Amino acid sequence: MTSVTSTTKKGGEPASAGIPVSAAMHRGVLACGKDASLAYVAELMASHRVHCVVVTDDPGDAESLWGIVSDLDLTAAASVRDLADQTAGATAATVALTIGPSDTVQRAAQLMTEHRTTHLVVVDAERRPVGIISTLDVAAALGES
């Protein structure tokens, strides 16, 4: 029999309320321009073993956030036509939602739930991307709390 522990703290507050995003996120951001082919995006994901790539207005400027292409977006796109014939900008199903590293995992979970997304871009005080937090990162943080 498996034992399950509570994910709430004393007083009924969720355990995620005390965990900063910085403790759960993956540092660094892979980015591509809106005109990048999905074949290129798939290569990026595979070679770096990640589940999303940030799409930017300017490929040389990761700060010009535009959207996110996830592995699920790639799967859906591949079912329609060849990935080499599709672009990241046309496929990004998720806008680039952001959160700060000092925000809580609880806030990240709220944003993900409200916007039905699996990834948030973590930005610093100057709005520069510094990492990604995913639903898997949230689950891992809760499992460790």
How, if at all, do strands 61-70 and 52-58 pair? Answer: antiparallel
Instruction: Supply the pLDDT for residue 143.
Output: 86
The torsion defined by the Cα of 71, 72, 78 and 80, in degrees rounded to 10, comes to -160
> Does the pLDDT value for residue 1 go beyond 70?
no
The answer to whether the CB of 44 falls within 8 A of the CB of 32 is yes
Instruction: Supply the pLDDT for residue 128.
Output: 86
Burial 34-64 (b: 16+ CB within 10 A, else e): bebbbebbbebbeeeebbbbbbbeeeeebeb
Which residue segments constitute the domains of the chain, with CATH numbers given? 18-144 (3.10.580.10)
DSSP assignment, residue 8? B
Instruction: Supply the pLDDT for residue 66.
Output: 82
Instruction: Supply the pLDDT for residue 16.
Output: 67
Mean pLDDT (the chain) is 87
Least confident piece of the model among 5-19, 42-56, 112-126: 5-19
| pLDDT tens-place string over residues 63-73 | 678 899 999 99
Calculate mean pLDDT across residues 94-115: 92
